[in-house]
Every structure is written in structure tokens, then in C-alpha cells.
Structure 1
Amino acid sequence: MRLAFISDIHANLPALEAVLADLDRQKPDAVYCLGDLVSYAPWPNEVVQLIRQHRIPTLMGNHDFTLSQLREGEALPTVPPDPKMGRSVVTAGAQSLAFTHGLLGNQERGFLGSLPRHIRLEFDTADGRSDVLMVHGSPGSLNEYLLEDRTEADILSVMDQAGADILLFGHSHLPYHRQLPGRSPDKPAYRHAINTGSVGKPKDGDPRAGYVLIDWIGGEPRVTLIRVAYDVERAARAIEESPLPDEFADRLRRAY
């Protein structure tokens, strides 16, 4: 069994197209998306449409949630005035939401609003049943970061509460894999916390699109963090030619 996990596409169509082409080569049995299809780049509708065309089971990300709650033509909440500057300051993130809100079609917005917050799978392996849980940020929140520097006890507590032997998540755009002790005699010997990284907006200094493959060999999963080169300049130039902040193009080029 081979499964692929992608996340945090953030409206970057060239990155998604490159990853889907690589998945055609890898030939997984199934592909799952952990959310945040939109924001930060100029192709939100095209990304949603491509995910739907490929029938990829997808979770809701925090950006998906925010934009799904707004109706077409509805204004975004105003930013409180900055007391030091005496005027409202619109952050780059707010500019991105406003831009994406203006582009999103009704069908695409409705799709984002229909997405679940968790997907759970169960596998019977040679050394016991393995529970796989997919979330966007954490089991409890779309916005929580499960960063690699969290203590082992902390991560194990999160996984215990969620009943997960393999926990897959995104949100931080920082890929990693941690192998942890198992939780009971009838379970696999190890648990796994896996951040899938980001397809469309990496933040680890490597601008290539990222995703994860898991192969089940015997009782233990083999986890591979994959990177895929794509036309970063095409995406960066499209951002610069749009009303989005040029900062987003720089972030794509330098992956921060």
C-alpha cells in the first residue's frame, strides 16, 4: 500500500501541477490533501477545480475556512487603526484574503465550506491495528502549529488524545517526520508524527514543492519526504503582476 499526502497549496497552480505529474510517476494507491488550497497566489479557482477533477479527498485548512464563511461581495472585517500611526494598517495576509475573496467563484467557495476537518483511516498490520489521523493544524485546531521542536511528551499527549498511531498534518509549511514509542501491546511498535510540508509555499529554505509518501512494508510504514522542482518564476511573476504584495513572490523564490 502506498499513500501520498499533500498540503498547503495556497493557490499555486504551477506547483500543484508539478506535484500531480510526480504523483503520476510515483503511482500511489490514494492521494489525500490536508487543506489550505487558497490564498497567497493568483489561482485559487484553478487549484480547487484541479483538486476536484482528481477526486482527491481534502481537509479544510484555516484559509479555506475563513474564505468559505464570506459571501460573494461581502466586505472583509476592517482592521483596527494602529494607535501609533493613527490609521488602519492592512497586513499582507489581509490583502491576500481580500484578493482571494474577490476571485473565488461560488462553486469553489462552496466546496471549501463543505470540507471536513479530519480524515481517519485504520489498517490491520502484522504487529497490530494502526490508526491514521489526518488534520490541517492539529487534532484540536485548524490554527495550531505542531512544530518539530515540541517535546516528545507533548506530541505523544496530542496523539494519545486523538487516538492516533500516525498523525499527519501541515499548516506550518515545515516538513518533518518523528518516530515515537508505540502506545499499547496490540499496536505497532512505533508511532509517527509527520508534517507534510507545503506544495505551494515552502518555508524551509527549499523552494521546491513538498509532499509525503508512505509505503507500508510488513508492519511498519516507510515515510519519504518528497521535493519536486517546478517553475517558481512563473508563480512569482504572476504574483508580481497581480494586486498581491510582491513580498509573496520573494517568499516563493527564497522559501521563507
Structure 2
Amino acid sequence: MTTALISDIHGNVDALKIVLADIESRGIERIICLGDIIGYGPNPLECVDLVMAKCEFAMLGNHDFAVLYEPTSFNASAEQSCYWTRQQFEKEEDPEKRKKRYTYLGNLSIRKQTEMGLFVHASPRRPINEYIFPDDTLTAPVKMQQIFDRIEQRCFCGHTHVPGVFTDEPDFYPPKDLGGTYTFTDDEKCIINPGSVGQPRDRDPRASYAVMTDEKIEFVRIEYPVQDVADKVSMIPQLNDFLGQRLFDGR
């Protein structure tokens, strides 16, 4: 069954709607979210509602966790956006909607093993908040070995907002080096990052997601109205303008 992988939406409903429309146009019925539905962006409630309605399951991201509990090791703008996001949940006048959203976030999985592979938000070793950076393949070989020791064959994660494939050589391949598609092989473990829907950080401002079959995974980029999102961020005093401006540069 063909599966769409989305991650790191971060309250950017404009990007999410366009990605979901592209997924639907491909006839894909199964969508999995790798976490960070909220945080940073101006439309957290709408994003949670869409993920609830459209995704087969979703993972718990560090920003989702922070809204439920407390932000840990967040910078000032991320922490402030977390508290503002929580306020939006609390301001919901319909008690059933408020309860449904909180219950959904509270029941998100930290780690989920399926026939497709292992699903986490961050890493198999620390599923909520450990970054796996492309440079780790060169600068942190012990870390990469320990991470690969925790997966059977395939793992799917987000968190860094950088799309690409890690292999157990170890090495990292951005989508452009793969021609946009990675073919699975039985003799190679891999970790797949579909990139970020709502806040890409690979210097490409287009929304990023991935389409997976039994044989391969394809990385997809979609343009969305970045200016509209930046304008909405600028209208919210509790959100740092940088959170909108960074979207233009994909950083």
C-alpha cells in the first residue's frame, strides 16, 4: 500500500493543506505523521484537526510534548510560541473540541514498530528530542552505530526538517543525490527523513514530504504561499517575526 509520510508541520496549515491536496491527487489513502504538528506556526488548532482527520497515526514530537507539558531546552522564541500555542488550545470555547484535541495529543505514540519499519519523531535512541544530522555520519560514528543498532531494517523520523536517507555505512544522501528516489535493499539498513511540511531547513522553502511503496521512497516538494504564513506570524505579538521570515529561505 502506498503511504505518504509527513512531518514537522509546526502550525503551518497553508503548507499542510497544499501537501494534503497533492497526496489526494495521487490517490494515496494512507498518511503517517512523524510529529511536531504544532509549535512555531500561526494555525495550531487547524493543523491538529487535519492530522486527526487525515492521518492513520502520528508520532509525538518535542513541540507536541512541550504544549502538553513544558518546553525543555527550547530557545526563547520556541518557548514563547509553545506557551502561545497552549493558549490557543485553552481558548477553545467548545469543551468537546478542546478535550478531543488534548486527548489526541496525549495519546500520540513515542515509538511505533510496524511491518513497514520503526516510526519515531527524532531518533530510535531518543525518540522525542535527539537530532540525527547529516554531518553525524562523519563527526559522530559511534552515535550513528548506536542508533542503527536499535532498528531492524528501516526507520522513519523527522525533527531536523532536512529530507534525505541515512544508511548504515554510515552515510547521508539528500534527495538531489538520489534523483529524488531511494530504492530499498535487503542488505542495507536505512533511516528516512521526509523533511518538513511547515518549516523546511534545507535552504529550499517548498513544503517537503515523501511517498513510500514496498520498493522505494520518493521525496516530493510543493510550493505554498509563504508570504501568507509570514503575514499571519507577524500579526501575532507572541510569535517572533523570525519564525515567519525564515520560511522564505528554508532555514
Give the TM-score normalised by the residue count of structure 1.
0.80
Q: What pairs up with 1:55-70 in 2 under 5 angstroms?
A: 55-69=55-69
Residues 1:147 and 2:121 are matched in the alignment: no
Query: Does the CA-based 8 Å contact 2:210-2:220 persist in structure 1?
Result: yes
Which residue of 1 is the match for residue 225 of structure 2? 231
Letter paired with 1:139: P
Partner in structure 2 of residue 138 of structure 1: 123
How big is the shift at 1:91? 1.4
Could you tell me which residue of structure 1 aligns to residue 216 of structure 2? 222
Say whether 1:172 aligns with 2:160: yes
Residues 55/32 of structure 1: CA separation in 2 closer, same or farther (3 Å cut): closer
Q: Which amino acid in structure 2 is aligned with residue 248 of structure 1? A: L
CA–CA separation in structure 2 for the residues paired with 1:99 and 1:247: 16
Which residue number in structure 2 is paired with residue 251 of structure 1? 246
Equivalent residue number for residue 159 of structure 1: 148
Residue 156 of structure 1: CA displacement?
4.2
Distance in 1, Cα, partners of 2:13 & 2:227: 12
| Shift, 1:31, TM fit | 1.2
Separation of aligned partners in 2, 1:17 and 1:195: 20
2:59·2:109 contact (CA, 8 Å) conserved in 1? yes
- 8 Å contact from structure 2 (residues 30, 55) kept in 1: no
CA distance 1:145–1:55, change in 2 (3 Å): closer
The question of whether the paired residues in 2 share the 8 Å contact of 1:166 and 1:191 is answered with yes
Structure showing greater Rg? 1
Aligned identity (percent) is 33
Task: Report matched runs for 1:185-200 at 5 Å.
Answer: 188-200=186-198
Distance (Å, rounded) in 2 between the aligned partners of 1:29 and 1:100: 29
Instruction: Show the counterpart of 1:96.
Output: 81
Q: CA deviation at 1:151?
A: 2.5
- Write 1 or 2 for the structure with the bigger share of helix: 2
**Residue in 1 aligned with 2:202?**
204
Q: How far apart, CA to CA, are the structure 2 residues paired with 1:119 and 1:29? A: 20
Give the CA deviation at 1:15.
Answer: 0.5
> In structure 2, how many angstroms separate the alpha carbons of the residues matched to 1:2 and 1:118?
21
2:250 is matched by which residue type in structure 1?
A
Distance 1:241 1:194 in 2: 35
| Contact 2:32 2:55 survives alignment (8 Å) | no
Contact 1:68 1:110 in 2 (8 A): no
Letter in 1 for 2:203: G
5+ long unaligned stretches in structure 1: 71-75, 80-89, 124-131, 182-186
SS of equivalent residue, structure 2 residue 136: coil
Return the alpha-carbon distance in structure 1 between the equivalents of residues 199 and 68 of structure 2.
21
Tell me the SS of whatever aligns to 1:224: strand
TM-aligned CA deviation for residue 55 of structure 1: 4.0
TM-superposed CA distance for 1:29, in Å, is 4.7
2:31–2:54 contact (8 Å) kept in structure 1: no
Structure-2 residue corresponding to 1:86: none
Instruction: Give the letter aligned to residue 155 of structure 2.
Output: L
- Counterpart-to-counterpart distance in 2, 1:29 and 1:192: 24
Q: Name 1:121's counterpart in structure 2.
A: 114
Between Structure 1 and Structure 2, the one with more strand by share is 1
Deviation at 1:41, TM superposition (A): 1.1
